[in-house]
Structure 1
Amino acid sequence: MKGIHQSSMAVRSFVVMACVVIILAGIKTASPIVVPFVLSAFLAVICNPVITLMCRYKLPKWLAIILLMGFIVLMSLWLTSLVGSSINEFSKQMPVYRAQLVEQFAWILDKLQQFNIHISRQKVLEYFDPGMALSMTTNMLSGVGNVMANLFLIILTIVFMLLESNDLSKKAHLALDDPEMRLKQIDRFLQSVNQYMMIKTLVSIATAIIVGIGLSIIGVDYALLWAVIAFLFNYIPNIGSIIAAIPAVLLAFVQFGPAAAGVTAGLYLGTNMVMGNVIEPKFMGRGLGLSTLVVFLSLIFWGWLLGSVGMLLSVPLTMVVKIGLESSQSGMWLAILLADNVDDKLSDSSMENHKQDDTEQISEQEK
């Protein structure tokens, strides 16, 4: 009997893994449809507190939604035109920047030749080409731009989600077979994701403003473009701020030399250290309960599955998976692996189990 039980468990595990692979392959294939829907869902999460605040001032909900959606459409069109025109102008100036780059490296190459180290200028352009850095950034932006091509569909989806936002918590409890709304982690999850998206958006806006003003003072070209890129890439954990800084630092080096490049790098480094290590932890508290390794791996996974939008939303998407695992006993072990503090997780789980046992004992005594 024991051998039969182990065999059935192995078959069940194999079937579950096969189902997961099939589902992921389906999502990957249907990503042109899935990605706009996912983006709409998280934009609705960001917009919902703003709608609630507007309704406190006696505005009808439908009017608040129309005003906010109109503002989002105008901002999206403005940012799209700004980024597109700036990239086109940058591409036209690329030969000039390449020539300036060779001039900046000329004295370094002369010094190296004195030590019989010969490096061709073509090699310098291959490894320190600002156009290559910009193309890497624009490739990631193009993924978001392709999604924004479905702007009408995204806005329409956000509107319907906001209209039904009041029933979202109840629907989540019913979907997870909890009509009595006893699963407190669902409410904690909705609150945590809402808090994360709002704080991350405000921090990204502040980062973009500081970077834009700093680059304007330094005199780096297209400061507004780099500020927009800093805003978008700040949503990408761990490496987003580094990717956003590379083209601006290279351009500062090309225009003004190593000193300006160092100041630009210091501007990005100081801004992200203050925002990421001081401001965010202060307002976000313990965050969303994901370990640093899980955050990094989720960035790679969601980027592969959903492209640039998946990288931007990797943290909240992982939280969706985590809460789904926590709601089932069979997936609890994987949810613990995703958590950042195992001791707190185990203590919370034991307390919830004791409470459920006490409730069941009381109900049995009443019967």
Structure 2
Amino acid sequence: MVPVQNPEPDIPLSAAHDADQPDPNTVLTEPSGATERLPSRALTIFLGGLFVLAVLAATYAASSIVLPVVLALVLKLLLQPAVRVLERLYIPTPVAALLAIVLIIGTLVGFVAVLSGPAETWAQKLPEGIPRLETHLMVLSGPIKMLQSALQQAEQVANGPEQKGATVAIRKDLGLTGALFSGTRAVLDGLFTTVLVLYFLLVSGDTFLRRLVEVLPKFSDKRQAVEISQQIEGDVSAYLVTITVMNAVVGVATASAMYFCGLGDPLLWGATAFLLNYVPILGPLFGTVIFLLVGLLSFDGLWWALLPPALYFGIHLVEGETLTPMLLARRFTLNPVLVILSLIFWFWMWGAPGAILAVPMLAILKIICDRLGPLKALGHFLEG
């Protein structure tokens, strides 16, 4: 007698449907090759965007206070290793900080004193070279006049017909002396605030980092804060020292090239190349225009006048495309498009100091993003 097998029980459709659904208690993991994602919640992104806009608006409105503080923080990263070296020589921290600041201020004052004489000489030569410059630029006089007439016509169309009896507002101008006085006063106020904040930052040392470590609840957060602080100080200080050394090399090479091609005051042009090289990409482009104008003012032949900008551009090409990237590649690389946008934005916000601080601030942002999980995708986006 063959035993009869029991048929399989019917499975309800709802049970079969539930079987296809994942267990809510099961933890889903992403594959190992998945990249970090930005916060997925639209509300988080929206609030974060509003917070960033509010910070930027406050930074722009309070630039007279924020800019000196940011400049002091960056200079602190540069001078902190020197202060530690002086502390190892049994020099008290307040005295070591004061010596570092006096060294920086003395260097700047000596730099300006040495260059004031050649700059004044070239300012006196400028009126004499205007006819030579006009002779060189005679070819461009026609297109320039056409452009001026087109701009005047466009301005007339935009303004519309003139209205009779219109009220003309008369603005009282303070003149050149008042403008120079106000500008000098603002610069001196900013320098005083920068020096004051920088001194107390150097004296405090790692006090703020220790307090932050004490406040953080988890040991992993404490370790992460210390690692971020050490990496920022190491990378940014290495960047500033490397850039300063390379700028000095560019200045010496430019001064030598201008001396051999017959351009007067090579020390002035070497110092100009040294300072302009602190602003990546835009600084050398502006320097090329300066050397082009100086060549046109100094030499009668057009091709000989093009030699100074060609030499300067060649020196920058060797330095900017070969030496400096090779030295800084191990520390960090930044997206050149974002570097340009950062330079333009911070120049609009803070002027020339903002353009100088743009790259260090972008580098600090990348270091922080690389260390924080939710922001790793942004750090990868900033990478060159």
Assess same fold via TM > 0.5.
yes
> Displacement of 1:159 after TM fit?
1.6
Give me the whole-angstrom Cα distance separating, in 2, the residues matched to 1:253 and 1:208: 21
> Displacement of 1:89 after TM fit?
4.6
Partner of 2:354: 310
> Displacement of 1:92 after TM fit?
3.8
Give me the whole-angstrom Cα distance separating, in 1, the residues matched to 2:265 and 2:203: 39
Residues 208, 324 of structure 1: alpha-carbon distance in 2 compared, 3 angstrom cutoff: same
Asked if 1:268 is matched to 2:312, the reply is yes
Q: Residue 223 of structure 2: SS of its match in structure 1?
A: coil
> Is contact 2:64-2:190 (8 Å) kept?
no
Asked if 1:26 is matched to 2:58, the reply is yes
Structure 1 spans left out of the alignment, 5+ residues: 1-7, 110-117, 127-141, 341-367
User: Which structure is larger by alpha-carbon Rg, 1 or 2?
Assistant: 2
Residues 81, 32 of structure 1: alpha-carbon distance in 2 compared, 3 angstrom cutoff: farther
> Is contact 1:173-1:186 (8 Å) kept?
no
> Is contact 1:143-1:307 (8 Å) kept?
no
> Is contact 1:220-1:248 (8 Å) kept?
no
Asked if 1:294 is matched to 2:338, the reply is yes
Q: Deviations over 1:129-186 (max 9, x none)?
A: xxxxxxxxxxxxx999954553332222222122223446545656877553145444
Q: Residue 290 of structure 1: SS of its match in structure 2?
A: coil
> Is contact 2:78-2:237 (8 Å) kept?
yes
- Whose helix proportion is higher, 1 or 2? 1
CA-based RMSD of the aligned residues comes to: 3.4
Q: Residue 95 of structure 1: SS of its match in structure 2?
A: helix
Residue of structure 2 aligned with 1:181, choices 176, 199, 223: 223
> Is contact 1:35-1:147 (8 Å) kept?
no
> Is contact 1:205-1:231 (8 Å) kept?
yes
The aligned length equals 307
Partner of 1:66: 98
Residue of structure 2 aligned with 1:235, choices 274, 278, 283: 278
Partner of 2:163: none
Give me the whole-angstrom Cα distance separating, in 2, the residues matched to 1:225 and 1:253: 17
Residue of structure 2 aligned with 1:40, choices 61, 72, 84: 72
Give me the whole-angstrom Cα distance separating, in 2, the residues matched to 1:30 and 1:90: 37
Q: Residue 151 of structure 1: SS of its match in structure 2?
A: helix
Where do 1:93-108 residues align within 5 Å?
A: 93-104=125-136
Residues 122, 14 of structure 1: alpha-carbon distance in 2 compared, 3 angstrom cutoff: closer
Give me the whole-angstrom Cα distance separating, in 2, the residues matched to 1:164 and 1:236: 30
TM-score (norm 1): 0.71
Where do 1:326-341 residues align within 5 Å?
A: 326-340=370-384
Q: Percent identity?
A: 24
Give me the whole-angstrom Cα distance separating, in 2, the residues matched to 1:176 and 1:235: 37
Structure 2 spans left out of the alignment, 5+ residues: 1-39, 149-181
Q: Residue 220 of structure 1: SS of its match in structure 2?
A: coil
Give me the whole-angstrom Cα distance separating, in 1, the residues matched to 2:91 and 2:345: 42
Partner of 2:197: 157
